[in-house]
Amino acid sequence: MVRIRQLSNGIRVVLERMPYFKTAAFGVFVRVGSVNETRENNGISHVIEHMLFQGTKKRTARQLAADTAAVGDHVNAFTSKEYTAYYGVTLSEYLPRLIELIGDMLNDSLIEEDALKKEKGVIQEEIDMYDDSPEDLVHELLQKQVWKNHPLGFLISGEKDVVQSVTRDEILAFMEAHYTAENMVLSVAGHFDENEVFEQLKEAFEPVKRGESRRLAARKALKNVRPDTPYHREYPGTDRDGTLCAPRYVPGFCASRKDIEQLHMNLAFPSIPAWAPEKYTLAVLNSILGGSNNSRLFQVIREELGLAYSVYSYGSSYEMAGLFQIDVTLNPSQARIAFDKIFEEIEKLKTAYVDESELGIHISQVRAELAMGQESPKSRMNANARAVLFQGKIESLKHVSDAVAAVRADSILDFAARYLKPSFASMCLVGPIDGKVQEEWEQRLSELQNGNP
């Protein structure tokens, strides 16, 4: 049973009791990420995530680490494009301590200059780590390419020089604008007493200020910024009062040379927002095309032709927009035939109905994955928080499972025909490629987009 309640300051609280567990998960989800940033402060959300572990008014960073270990050492945080989360999983008896600990971090972090300087160095190393990971890089570069200058395309970690320039005052101002009650959801799942936990949440989080509406904050963001920043009134990603608008997908090509053996290829098509009704159709289509070992791409490109070890598809869906992406890692000499085979399989989805047997297998697979993905307090805490943060409601597992079961072959074909058009295709390559090879691939993509396979 899931209940949604509210603190006196407006923070929404979602509670799901799972009494058959001995553990509980708790998280604070803040509706702010790289999509809320500008060119001048890109990466600041991620910097704040780091800084909240660096000491509060009553705990040093070392004491935070010790108290984290004392509740099981499963306290962590992450920043995404649209939200930041601080969470932990612990024994039910330690849940009050976990709530107080994360509340202390959110309400009373010091953000000291010395700690900020040190943590910037840590973040610089993290940025280098992602840059050294071609699997991550090819995805991020393509997102940056297709969303152009819209903040949805910004790197979550930010650029190194921008991160280095972030000041303590900017962090405090950014937190004051975004770390407000209206932007927060508290989520608890597992074994706990609801009334006791709600009182603990009140004590820890009712000090959070209500804050201004996002629309008013957006108007203020227009002041004293350069004309090329995403919140300027002339920027196409915002309306006249500065409220962030949906990004426009722009097909494109990008590449990055890396001295590695294999070529990483990522393809993208425009898709649906995370909460669109067609999300169930997308889930089944993804399973059919490349989302599993039984998918068409895996079976053809890896199992039948032996062209690649890794090939898969996935959705990158956000509140206002989405992408459907295909990733393949392979020897550069095999890339051309793999590219052609991928589009052959896409064309089959657009022109022929999936037979009932294949459709049934993938519907069953998606339903099983949904059920298994909700089998732990941590997964329930996470899913509930995101649903309330962005939809204001929670769909039951039965509702979602029934909706997946209702997906039909004609909806798969219609979705593929609408979104997976060659003219919409974008590509990013990372690996051992020179300028000439990049030009050849860009030309190949252009030919495909223009109907010349």
> Is 112 among the residues known to form the active site?
no
What is the C-alpha to C-alpha distance for residues 232 and 448, in angstroms, rounded to an integer?
A: 36
Q: Is 423 exposed, middle or buried (0-12, 13-18, 19+ CB in 10 A)?
A: exposed
What is the C-alpha to C-alpha distance for residues 199 and 201, in angstroms, rounded to an integer?
A: 5
**DSSP strand pairing (263-271 vs 426-431):** antiparallel
| 426 close to 142: Cβ distance less than 8 angstroms | yes
The tokens 């001995």 sit on which residue?
22
The tokens 């941590």 sit on which residue?
378
Q: Please pick, among 16, 49, 140, 319, the residue that the annotation labels catalytic.
A: 49
Q: What are phi and psi of 310, to 5 degrees?
A: -120, 125
The full DSSP string for 324-388 is EEEEEEE-GGGHHHHHHHHHHHHHHHHHSPPPHHHHHHHHHHHHHHHHHTTSSHHHHHHHHHHHH
- Angle ∠(397,400,403) on CA atoms, nearest 5: 145
The tokens 């949805």 sit on which residue?
152
What is the C-alpha to C-alpha distance for residues 132 and 137, in angstroms, rounded to an integer?
A: 8
Q: Is 238 exposed, middle or buried (0-12, 13-18, 19+ CB in 10 A)?
A: buried
Picking from 283, 294, 299, 290, the residue whose alpha carbon sits closest to that of residue 346 is 290
Catalytic residue ranges: 49
